[in-house]
Amino acid sequence: MSAAEKPPTPGFFEAFRSNAWTDLALTLPIFVAYHLGVVLLEVRNAADFFTTQLIGLAERNLMVYWGLTLGIGAAMVLILAMLGRGEAFDFRRFVVVLLEGAVYAVLMRAVAISAIGAVPLAAPLGASQAASQAASQAASQAASQAAQQLDARWTGLVMSLGAGLYEEIAFRVGLFGLGTLAIRAIFGGIAKWTLVVGWGLVTAAVFSAWHYVGPLGDPFELRSFVFRWVCGAVFTAIFVLRGFAPAVWTHTLYDVWVLVLG
């Protein structure tokens, strides 16, 4: 093949775009680490549909449970290797997804804080500076309230892993993904993409509302709702444009930033 006939070299994002196989490999460490740690806690992520079944399978034996968790991880590695998907474990992919997740998390927080600053409040005249400070504090408090309630960095770390994995499965893969498939099957043209964008905003709102439900749910507050709504929209955009693994790592790293390092 001559130089003129060689296919163009893919760009950075094309070269490291995730697919089903690389998504599995890139999120496998989060899956294993979360399940090894969550069994030691009294709480778990509400979207975690797997731990209870795994505990039952292990007959509530901790060592058996850990063995099953590690066995599942090893089986996934073996399956990928047997299918000839060695590129899924390319170390460069892990570096890229970590860097991407960190950058997206910082940008997402900036956008979300900017958005809640636009939410009107019944503030006295001349209090714009105080309102701005209150917006920033509201963002930090809304994002870190779960960590304050649990009051443990270790718990915050494990819960961050669970939130990043299972909430992305529930809301991006499940709710948004299945809804998008239905929209594509029924509609076409511009209307299809308009509805997909609208559905993305709806699922982001559902994702935000999720944080106010259940025994560990936060008291509802408009600014924290908007903050999380924006975050949900950003996670959806990352899922669509970059794939599942980047969305999971962005979510996980952001929660670690807030719950553990914040």
What CA–CA distance (Å, rounded) separates 84 from 113? 44
Spatial CA neighbour of 223 closest among 107, 131, 130:
131
Q: Which two tokens stand for residue 58?
A: 């292990």
Inter-helix orientation angle 20-38/62-82, to 10°: 170
What CA–CA distance (Å, rounded) separates 8 from 3? 10
| pLDDT given for residue 37 in this prediction | 94
CB 18 within 8 A of CB 243: yes
CB 247 within 8 A of CB 235: yes
Q: Domain extents for the chain?
A: 3-261
What CA–CA distance (Å, rounded) separates 10 from 164? 29
What CA–CA distance (Å, rounded) separates 122 from 139? 18
Mean pLDDT, consecutive 10-residue segments, the chain of 262 residues? 50 61 90 94 87 92 95 90 68 90 95 81 40 44 50 86 96 96 83 89 96 84 93 96 95 93 78
Q: Which two tokens stand for residue 179?
A: 């809804």
Spatial CA neighbour of 105 closest among 222, 262, 218:
262
| pLDDT given for residue 27 in this prediction | 94
Q: What are 250-260's pLDDT values in tens digits?
A: 999 999 999 88
What CA–CA distance (Å, rounded) separates 143 from 24? 28
Q: What are 63-110's pLDDT values in tens digits?
A: 999 999 999 999 998 888 777 655 667 788 889 999 999 999 999 999
What CA–CA distance (Å, rounded) separates 86 from 193? 35
| pLDDT given for residue 35 in this prediction | 96
What CA–CA distance (Å, rounded) separates 244 from 236? 9
What pTM value is reported for the model? 0.82
